[in-house]
Structure 1
Amino acid sequence: MPLSQFSRLISTGSALPSRCVTNDELARELASLGVETSDEWIRSRTGIETRYLVSGEEGTLSLAVSASRAALEGGAIDPATIDLVIVATTTPDEVFPAVACRLQSALGIPPCAAFDIQAVCSGFAYAVSVADSMIRSGAARRALVVGAESFSRLLDWRDRTTCVLFGDGAGAAVLEASDKPGILMTRLTADGGKGDYLAVPGRLEGGKALGSPFLKMDGRAVFREAVESLSSQAEAVLREAGVAASDIDLYVPHQANVRIMDAVASRIGVNPASVVKTVFQHGNTCAASVPLALDYAVKNGMARRGDTVLLQGVGAGMTCGTALLIL
């Protein structure tokens, strides 16, 4: 394939599980387990009001399929024209094959490169960066990039410090080769020395789960690292791209905690009105949070063609990813 000067995001889509759980409902369910919490306690610390949780036959693949179909239909895109599928997820429905391969089959996409990326909450930014590189190199012409999670599967419902924070969902985007500027710059980092800040240390062996299968988090360390890594990476990307913070029309950060988002936006100097916040409705949906928020912005008229957009994710590893683009 010929080299492409740019890749460009042309369509988005999203999907949520059918079950919406309010803070009050969650507090009642947790009380039955001997865990005390309340709407006020959750809201004041995180900004979260509701979250969506998978149930029944719902899972990471079904959410990815629904979000992808929405992105394809929204852009009037024939699945047969997709030649790269990347799914960012921490919670596949099975050990293997990759969710991306199952998704390719479910959507009727012809044989092509299809694989998963595991960078936890930075996963979508990582996936966009990889897709951008492959399109620019000529390895692909049109990519389906998805963040999908059933993160509630990893939660210890007796741990109030983590179980109130997360939700499930999926977001998708289609990128294609373009001669016009689209993805301007991406930056990916990881600091494995901080891997214990946020982890699920268990593993499968001999048909059993060995070690803890539940999420463990040092909340203060994660907060501190998230603010620092998101801020410093955003500043570096804007500086190298020659883009001022005041030129950012839309800032779509990882939806973990409203206090983290406000702190980063203030530090890098973007207009507070440009910050997309969906954590109130969705909670932290890990790799799905950024594409969910981006699609929300598109659907609600917050994002327009020609806007300069900054996407960012930060997650366990500790990983961090940033993408600067023009819609």
Structure 2
Amino acid sequence: MNIKITGSGSYVPDQIITNGDFAEHIFFDETGNTLRYPEAVIGKFHDITGIEERRYAEPQHTASDLAFFASERAITDAGIDKESIDYIIMCHNYGDVAFGKVQSDTVPSLGSRVKNKLGIKNPHCVAYDLLFGCPGWNEGMIQANAFIRSGIAKRCLVIGAETLSRVVDKFDRDSMIYADGAGAVVVEASLDGSGLVSHESVTYAVDESEYLYFGKSYNGQSDEDVRYIKMRGRKIYEFALTKVPLAMQSCLNRANVKVESLTKILIHQANEKMDEAIVSRFYELYNMLPPKDIMPMSIHKFGNSSVATIPTLYDLIMKGKIERHEFRKGDILLFASVGAGMNINAFVYKV
């Protein structure tokens, strides 16, 4: 028995922030020195990441609101009674951060907040939060798989939502990467061979745990007690290129699937050049070049919304909103992600 996605939904905020909107920003490096020529910084940023614009949540919305919007759409798409959901797995990293505030709010849990917003009365619908860095939604799918295969659940709602715009240091050029959004899926048992076939998860936390971290602003005049999302970009790039292809290969081997059978690779939308390099390195393990259109991308318009990128991408393809990409019955998909922890995971999925 496998688990399969029976409904999906996503929420992409309406507020568009273009690269040009950062032209008046003053950026500092990690030593506090001003970066000159912001136009050149922004141009280089686009060349590396592929990001042209990103979406920010409206001031009145928090991460749990975005999660609720995406969940409603997934439940409608699945055509189910919301009271029949056994688990709500809410994947995020920073909780609800109100617009203009710096404190994260996680009490009650975001899972409970989404259940409340959905109006689910069934007390046996268990809602909880999962923190696993950017691979959180993938890990939520893996946990839902365990729940359903063990027989303790029949139906799960797996959500990825984040408002990274609320935890960025505006004086750090890396702030241009991050975005807000949410994606959700309903998963149930599959008896026809479709669905999640195999999975792989690993955590590297000896030398790698601080590659993504919370740190003070690069502006020395800012409040030293306020922390923002920070990353060691070069370290993450080198780590991802070395470790992620190996996890993808291991996952594919567990599924007993030939690489030639892969139809699409849905990878966390972190950085276009990095994602392209990961997929190229993965195919190098098989002495092959990546097939054309194997890797759909949404980062150009939506930026990096952490745990929301993969479920959002999946839903957009399902709804015919990603040009040149679609899923057909029998397609073999490989989902993969890397993020804070440092965590990596992947799963093979048959449509």
TM-score norm. by structure 2 comes to: 0.85
Give the AA of the match of 2:313.
A
User: In the alignment, which of 244, 247, 261 is matched to residue 230 of structure 1?
Assistant: 244
- Please name the residue that 2:156 is paired with: 143
Q: How far has the Cα of 1:85 moved from its partner?
A: 0.4
User: In the alignment, which of 68, 78, 81 is matched to residue 81 of structure 2?
Assistant: 78
Deviations 1:278-306 (A, max 9, x none): 11111111111111111122122512332
Structure 2: gaps of 5 or more residues: 29-33, 97-104, 217-222, 284-289
Q: How far has the Cα of 1:75 moved from its partner?
A: 2.1
Change (3 A) 1:272 1:318: farther
- Please name the residue that 1:168 is paired with: 180
Q: How far has the Cα of 1:216 moved from its partner?
A: 1.7
Q: How far has the Cα of 1:42 moved from its partner?
A: 2.1
Partners in 2 of 1:168 and 1:32 — Cα distance?
A: 21
Partners in 2 of 1:201 and 1:41 — Cα distance?
A: 24
Question: 8 Å contact 1:200–1:212 — kept in the other structure?
Answer: no
Q: How far has the Cα of 1:32 moved from its partner?
A: 9.8
Which one has a larger percent helix, Structure 1 or Structure 2? 1
TM-score norm. by structure 1 comes to: 0.91
- Please name the residue that 2:38 is paired with: 37
User: In the alignment, which of 285, 296, 315 is matched to residue 305 of structure 2?
Assistant: 285
Give the AA of the match of 1:219.
G
Deviations 1:52-98 (A, max 9, x none): 11231111011001111111112222212211100110121112221
Change (3 A) 1:107 1:305: farther
Give the AA of the match of 2:9.
G
Give the AA of the match of 2:233.
G
| 3-state secondary structure, aligned to 1:173 | strand
Partners in 2 of 1:167 and 1:272 — Cα distance?
A: 27
Q: How far has the Cα of 1:113 moved from its partner?
A: 1.6
Q: How far has the Cα of 1:114 moved from its partner?
A: 1.1
Partners in 2 of 1:82 and 1:287 — Cα distance?
A: 21
Question: 8 Å contact 1:17–1:58 — kept in the other structure?
Answer: no
- Please name the residue that 2:337 is paired with: 313
Q: How far has the Cα of 1:154 moved from its partner?
A: 1.3
Partners in 2 of 1:179 and 1:218 — Cα distance?
A: 44
- Please name the residue that 1:97 is paired with: 108
Partners in 1 of 2:319 and 2:139 — Cα distance?
A: 24
Question: 8 Å contact 1:123–1:147 — kept in the other structure?
Answer: yes
Give the AA of the match of 2:258.
A
Q: How far has the Cα of 1:22 moved from its partner?
A: 0.8
Question: 8 Å contact 2:201–2:346 — kept in the other structure?
Answer: yes
Q: How far has the Cα of 1:212 moved from its partner?
A: 4.8
Q: Aligned residue pairs: how many?
A: 315
Of residues 266-275 and 44-53 in structure 1, the stretch that sits farther from structure 2 once superposed is 266-275
- Please name the residue that 1:179 is paired with: 191
Partners in 1 of 2:224 and 2:147 — Cα distance?
A: 37
